[in-house]
Amino acid sequence: MMKAYILINVEVEKVEDAFEKIKKIKEIKESHTIIGPYDIITLVEENDLEQISNINLKKIQNVEGVIKTLTCLIVK
C-alpha cells in the first residue's frame, strides 16, 4: 500500500468550497485546511502510484478553484 500527501493550492475565496468537495472524495483518508503556500493538505492511500496519480489528476484537480497540487510520496 502506498501513501502520499497531496498539497493543494486554491483560488482566493474558494478554499472552503474546495475543501468541502475534496474531503468527500472517498479515496482521501484525511483532509485539512492549512496556512502557508498551500491551502489544503490531504492524505491518500492506494495500491500503487498510478491510482494516486489518477485521484490527483481526475478528482482533486477537477475541483473548482484548484490551481495546482504537489504530491509527496511517503517513503517510511
- Over residues 26-54, the pLDDT tens digits come to 999 999 999 999 999 999 999 999 999 99
pLDDT for residue 48:
94
Which residue bears the cell 468527500?
A: 24
* Interval 11-27: pLDDT, tens: 999 999 999 999 999 99
C-alpha cell at position 50: 498510478
CATH classification code of 2-73:
3.30.70.920
pLDDT for residue 41:
98
pLDDT for residue 37:
95
Amino acid at the residue 42: T
Whole-number Å distance between alpha carbons of 18 and 10: 7
User: Are 63 and 22 contacting, i.e. CB atoms less than 8 angstroms apart?
Assistant: yes
Q: What is the pTM of this model?
A: 0.94
C-alpha cell at position 11: 483560488
What single DSSP character describes residue 38? -
Q: Which residues pair with 69 in a beta bridge?
A: 8
